[in-house]
Every structure is written in C-alpha cells, then in structure tokens.
C-alpha cells in the first residue's frame, strides 16, 4: 500500500466517524422504483411487503376497493370514505356496513365491521346494534393483526379483541358525569402489544381532575394513566417498542408570549420527561428510539430523545401549502410531503404534492414536485427497513427507492 492509498483510507474513516449520518445520506441514490397506474379518484392502497418491497394489492376509491391485478375484482363496497379504517402501514382495511333500516323508530340498527388483509382475506368480522346509524363506533387497527379495539360512540367503553375477533375485555374510562361527544385518539406500538388512548374530550372549567391519558395492554389491562396539563388534545403517538409516548395539545390558560401548543414526552411508565413549545399532527419515531419527528401544518421538528430537546427545525411549507406527512428514513434522513390544500368534488385534496428529503444537518438531499397532480390521503407508506416509501397520487401509486 502506497502513501496515497493510505491517505485516502484515512480520509474515508475520518468522514465516516465525524460526519456520520450526513455522509451516509449524501451517498444515497433516489429514484422512482416503480409506478402502478390506476383510475382517476384513487384515494389510497392496500400494500404487501415482500422482501423489503412495497407491492400494492388493492386500490381504494371513495366507494370501493378493487384488485390492482384486475380492476373488475371488487373486494368491498361502502357508502363513503368515512366507512373505512386503514391500519397505519396500509396492510389492513376495515369496512363498516349498516344493515337494513329498522322498521320502528326505537328499534336498534344492525351493523357489521369486516377487516380485510392485503391478500383480500377477511381476518375479523364483528357485528352489533346501534341506537341509530349516526352513533357508530370507532375502530383502531394494528398492522400486526394481534388486536382490534372498538370505541363506543360516546367513548364510554373500549372493547378489546384478539386476532380471531374474540372479545377479550371491556374497559370504561370516562366518569359518567363527564360524558360528551368527543373525538378520541388511539395509537398502537409497532408490535400491537400496547395501546395509547386519549378520549379527546376537552377539559371543562371547574371539573374534578380525572385521568384522561391511558396506556393499556392490547388485552385491556391498564398499564398507566395520567391527567394531562392540556386544554384540548390534537395528536398522540407511541414509539415502536412503547418506550416513549407523546401527546400534543393546547396549553391551559396560555397567554402570549407563552406558547399556545405543547408536546409532552412520556417515558414507558407514564412520567413526563420534557415538554416542547410546539404542536404536531404527524409524528414518527426512529427505529432505534433515538430520534423523534414532529410535524404540524407548516413546520417539522427533529427531536433528540437522548437529550430530550429539539435538534432541528424545518419550514418546508407556508400559505396554502401544508405538511401532509413526514417520516424518518434509514440514516435518520427526514422525509416530508407537502401540498397545496384545495378541494375536489367536495373532498379535501392536496395539489402539486412535493417530496423533500433532508439530512439531520438540514441539508436538502432530494426534492421532487408533482405539478398538475394531487393526492387525497397525503400519506407515505414505508417498507420495514425504511429505505423505500410509497406515495398515492390521484391516478397512480409510486414507490421510491432511497438505497
């Protein structure tokens, strides 16, 4: 080995040690791996993960799901998109269907809830009755299929099911005097063993303090609970192993220059580790639980979970262009999707969707804008190793490779 070769090796080692993830990210390539064409009006997809590849199996439109291989093969139909639930990884789809209207006003309304996997197989079939069709339950799905949780309309009760659809447990979490129409929020860990739940009920002035954040096992056992120091909650999240939990909401009695929004960071036992003066609607934890990504309408924040502090702030949107999703790729690269909020036939869409990938130093590594396109969901799908992601546009599904 001559001196020139030795010098080159030493420089490479220096860059790997001191530049770390940014050096790794700069060496990545970004390209469209494959596109699947669909009809106009594509809302979402059901996706299989085969050898780290994202493979769409069913197209989801506003009223039906059809096979990618044969768009004449209908998996299920529904009245509108409010009748379907997708698991976070888009490999399960739950469909709510109401039976025939009852003959009498006071008779209950029968319904069914069926859950399909990406192969089109029914893995859960639940049924019941409702006081009326508007008071339907909410459902939470986990990609592992280990559990399914139903929340009653008034959010008095959570019902816990196993992977065969057998009822395991029932839990009442709200005091009767606090019953209000609300918007509950629930999040599973990646393995389906833990479930973080907030009833979504805003704090009422003068009420007796009661727990309003619950960590539960997927069997229904209560693990810990907390009373949030928040007026109203806008988002929750759970790390893949349940090591951290996050909750975002409006601060109580906030007055400028105090921040209106706060994000609380909890450990696995329900202790508050820190709070950040920002709110989030999108969140993602790194695979090693060292980083946390928070996104609101216009900004994205990278949080170091080692120091429990905001490490980087990015502002990829503004005006009518909003952040619709964000996530962490391998090498802790920051993936962000934005779009211009608009409407199409009465439904919200995001025009001219744009993908931006940043390094942890805030350097732009990749940018792609889809002019004259739009998206309904504005969400990413990821493969297990996080070096591939998918995006649904109004007439096709695109998979990007970032290896």
pLDDT in tens, 267-323: 999 999 999 999 999 999 999 999 999 999 999 999 999 999 999 999 999 999 999
Tens digits of per-residue pLDDT, 105-114?
778 888 899 9
What's the pLDDT at 1? 58
Whether the bond into 257 is cis, omega within 30 of 0: yes
Distinct helix (H) and strand (E) counts, the chain: 1, 33
Tens digits of per-residue pLDDT, 15-55?
344 344 444 444 568 999 999 999 999 999 999 999 989 99
pLDDT at position 14 over 60: no
Better pLDDT: 354 or 12: 354
pLDDT at position 330 over 80: yes
Closest listed residue to residue 38, CA positions, set 386, 369, 373: 373
Q: Give CA angle at 115 (112, 117), nearest 5°.
A: 160
What's the pLDDT at 176? 56
**Calpha distance 51→36 (Å, rounded):** 18
| Residue 20 and residue 14 in contact, taking contact as beta carbons nearer than 8 Å | no
Closest listed residue to residue 212, CA positions, set 255, 269, 267, 155: 155
What's the pLDDT at 201? 76
Q: What mean pLDDT is predicted for residues 255-275? A: 89
Give the burial class of 287: count Cβ atoms within 10 A of its Cβ; 0-12 exposed, 13-18 middle, 19 or more buried.
Answer: middle
**Calpha distance 136→157 (Å, rounded):** 13
- The H or E element spanning position 15 is helix 3-26
Tens digits of per-residue pLDDT, 270-279?
999 999 999 9
């Amino acid at each position: 080995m001559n001196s020139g070769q030795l010098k080159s090796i030493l420089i490479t080692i220096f860059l790997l040690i001191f530049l770390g993830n940014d050096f790794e990210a700069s060496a990545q390539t970004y390209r469209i791996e494959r596109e699947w064409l669909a009809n106009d009006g594509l809302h979402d997809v059901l996706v299989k993960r085969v050898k780290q590849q994202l493979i769409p199996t069913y197209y989801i439109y506003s009223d039906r799901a059809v096979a990618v291989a044969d768009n004449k093969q209908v998996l299920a139909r529904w009245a509108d998109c409010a009748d379907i639930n997708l698991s976070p990884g888009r490999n399960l789809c739950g469909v709510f269907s109401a039976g025939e209207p009852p003959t009498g006003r006071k008779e209950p309304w029968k319904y069914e809830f069926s859950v399909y996997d990406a192969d089109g197989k029914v893995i859960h079939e639940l049924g019941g009755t409702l006081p009326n069709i508007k008071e339907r339950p909410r459902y939470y799905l986990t990609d592992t299929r280990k559990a399914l949780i139903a929340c009653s309309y008034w959010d008095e009760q959570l019902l816990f099911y196993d992977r065969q659809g057998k009822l395991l447990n029932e839990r009442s979490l709200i005091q009767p005097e606090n019953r209000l129409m609300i918007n509950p929020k629930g999040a599973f860990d990646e393995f389906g063993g833990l479930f973080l739940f907030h009833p979504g009920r805003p704090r009422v002035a003068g009420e007796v303090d009661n727990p309003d954040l619950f960590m539960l096992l997927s069997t229904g056992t209560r693990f810990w609970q907390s009373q949030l120091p928040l007026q109203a909650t806008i988002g929750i999240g759970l790390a893949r192993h349940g090591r951290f939990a996050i909750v975002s909401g409006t601060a109580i009695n906030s007055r400028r220059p105090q921040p209106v929004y706060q994000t609380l960071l909890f450990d696995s036992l329900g202790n508050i580790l820190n709070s950040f003066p920002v709110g989030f609607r999108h969140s993602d934890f790194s695979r090693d639980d060292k980083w946390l990504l928070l996104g609101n309408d216009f900004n994205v924040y990278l949080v170091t979970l080692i120091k429990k502090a905001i490490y980087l702030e990015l502002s990829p949107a503004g005006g009518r262009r909003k952040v619709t999703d964000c996530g962490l790729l391998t090498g802790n690269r920051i993936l962000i999707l934005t779009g211009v909020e608009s409407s199409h036939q009465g439904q919200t869409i995001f025009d001219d969707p744009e993908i931006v990938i940043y390094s942890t130093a805030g350097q732009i590594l990749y940018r792609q804008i889809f002019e004259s396109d739009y998206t309904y969901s504005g969400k990413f799908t990821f493969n297990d190793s996080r070096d591939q992601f998918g995006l649904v546009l109004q007439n096709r599904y695109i998979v990007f490779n970032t290896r």
